């Protein structure tokens, strides 16, 4: 953190203060609780309003490219070529994970065990009964019901879907060739498709024998029942901040400051297999100097003061080395002449 603060103080020194403005963000529904709690806490320190629309990652990317919002949010990092083409910058805000959730009467949360192969077959429609032999083999001590599996999936362009299907593509050749990874998937027509993480949560709670995937913070806040997943080391693990941190530690995020790398299917006995980052995307050349400066000021405050809020909504803070790279990205935002913007927290 010392390097991060040194770099940041060099950026902020003698910089003019940005005026209070109403800022608008849009994108990831997974990260909506994080940006909400940051915005509410920030509003207590400055005369500023930040509104955020949980429209889905692909929508957030589209809107920032159109310059119709002050910041976009996505649970998937854009490739460098795409950033360069659209004159954008991006940086992660926190780490979380995608969790398989179920509603199985008579079976406690965390008792059900699944692996990548079985999960791929469930979400491709090949396995449609809870007492299928493949599920029974993973759960010999559970009394699985002879009931039809009811999958609920995301209809909207979702970074959660992208991370989930990226994982399935890595662990199942059949999934990779048949569906691949994307923000939207051509789901089996028998599946129920809904929009947004909150709707997924409500649907699973209301419908016995259902299954879906959702962001970890919703699991904790809505007290959803989860499945254990088998990770790359063959261990069955529960979703947790420790598991997300272990997956991050097995990536190049810390060693090389590379946050474009997907965090799914990482090695390590404690690693959660569907770990993900969530990202902020900004226009690199400010179209509105005051709003761009105010946006940078907000996220600067969040990284310097917002770690406790990250934990409160069940995300994992960024390591210091990654935060240092974040600030390097932030100081590349410039005016129309290419002169970097400056801002202060005062």
pLDDT single digits (tens) 111-137: 999 999 999 999 999 999 999 999 999
Confidence of residue 138 (pLDDT cuts 50, 70, 90): very high
Q: How many CA within 13 A on the CB side of residue 299?
A: 27
Going along the chain from its start, the domains and CATH numbers come out as 2-96+276-330 (3.40.190.10), 97-256 (3.40.190.10)
Candidate from 7-16, 224-233, 261-270, 302-311 with smallest mean pLDDT: 7-16
- CA dist 50 and 69 (Å) reads 11
Q: Please tell me which of 31-35, 136-140, 342-346 the model is most confident about, judged by mean pLDDT.
A: 136-140
- The answer to whether residue 228 scores a pLDDT higher than 50 is yes
- The answer to whether residue 257 scores a pLDDT higher than 90 is no
Going by C-alpha positions, the residue among 330, 335, 341, 340 that lies closest to residue 286 is 335
Contacts of 110 (CB under 8 A, 6+ apart): 225, 226, 227, 228, 238
How confident is the model at residue 19, as a pLDDT? 54
- Phi and psi of 327, rounded to 5°? -65, -30
- The answer to whether residue 204 scores a pLDDT higher than 50 is yes
- 0.85 exceeded by the pTM? yes
Going by C-alpha positions, the residue among 221, 335, 324, 320 that lies closest to residue 288 is 335
- CA dist 33 and 2 (Å) reads 28
Q: How many CB atoms lie within 10 A of CB 84?
A: 11
Q: How many CA within 13 A on the CB side of residue 105?
A: 7
- CA dist 274 and 328 (Å) reads 28
- CA dist 294 and 250 (Å) reads 35
- What is the separation of C-alpha 345 from the centre of its chain, rounded to a whole number of angstroms? 27
- Phi and psi of 212, rounded to 5°? -160, -170
pLDDT single digits (tens) 1-34: 444 443 444 344 334 444 568 999 999 999 999 9
pLDDT single digits (tens) 40-94: 999 888 877 899 999 999 999 999 999 999 999 999 999 989 999 999 999 999 9
> Is-contact 184 158, C-beta < 8 A?
yes
pLDDT single digits (tens) 298-333: 999 999 888 888 988 889 988 888 888 888 899 999
Quick one: average pLDDT of 161-165?
Answer: 97
How confident is the model at residue 46, as a pLDDT? 84
DSSP codes, 121-181: HHHHTS--BTT-HHHHHH-TTS---S-B-EEEEE-S--HHHHHHHHHHHHH-HHHHHHT--
- What is the separation of C-alpha 65 from the centre of its chain, rounded to a whole number of angstroms? 19
Residue 89, token pair as written in the block: 């910058």
Q: Which residue has the higher pLDDT, 149 or 311?
A: 149
% of the chain surpassing 70 pLDDT: 93
How confident is the model at residue 17, as a pLDDT? 43
How confident is the model at residue 343, as a pLDDT? 79
How confident is the model at residue 8, as a pLDDT? 45
Q: Name the strand (E) or helix (H) holding 117.
A: helix 116-124
- The answer to whether residue 346 scores a pLDDT higher than 80 is no
């Amino acid at each position: 953190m010392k390097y991060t603060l040194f770099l940041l103080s060099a950026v902020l020194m003698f910089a003019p203060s940005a005026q209070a403005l109403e800022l608008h963000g849009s994108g990831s529904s997974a990260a909506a609780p994080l940006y909400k709690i940051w915005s509410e806490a920030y509003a207590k320190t400055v005369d500023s309003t930040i509104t955020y629309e949980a429209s889905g990652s692909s929508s957030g990317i589209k809107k920032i490219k159109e310059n119709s919002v002050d910041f976009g949010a996505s649970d998937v990092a854009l490739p460098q070529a795409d950033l360069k083409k659209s004159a954008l910058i991006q940086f992660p805000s926190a780490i979380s994970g995608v969790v398989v959730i179920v509603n199985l009467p008579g079976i406690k949360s965390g008792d059900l065990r699944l692996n990548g192969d079985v999960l791929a077959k469930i979400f491709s429609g090949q396995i449609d009964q809870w007492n299928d032999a493949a599920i029974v083999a993973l759960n010999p001590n559970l009394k699985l019901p002879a009931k039809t599996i009811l999958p609920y999936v995301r209809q909207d362009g979702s970074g959660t879907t992208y991370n989930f299907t990226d994982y399935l593509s890595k662990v199942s050749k059949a999934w990779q060739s048949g569906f691949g990874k994307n923000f939207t998937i051509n789901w089996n027509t028998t599946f129920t498709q809904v929009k947004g993480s909150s709707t997924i949560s409500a649907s699973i709670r209301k419908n016995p024998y259902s299954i879906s995937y959702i962001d970890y913070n919703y699991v904790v806040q809505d007290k959803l029942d989860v499945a254990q997943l088998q990770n790359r080391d063959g261990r069955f693990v529960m979703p947790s901040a420790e598991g997300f941190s272990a997956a991050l530690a097995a990536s190049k995020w810390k060693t090389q400051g590379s946050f474009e790398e997907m965090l799914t299917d990482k090695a390590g006995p404690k690693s959660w297999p569907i770990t993900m980052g969530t990202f902020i995307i900004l226009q690199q050349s400010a179209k509105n100097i005051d709003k761009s400066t105010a946006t940078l000021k907000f996220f600067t405050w969040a990284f310097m003061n917002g770690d406790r809020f990250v934990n409160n909504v069940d995300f994992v803070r960024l390591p210091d080395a990654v935060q240092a790279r974040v600030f390097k990205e932030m100081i590349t935002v410039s005016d129309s002449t290419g002169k970097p913007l400056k801002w202060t927290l005062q």
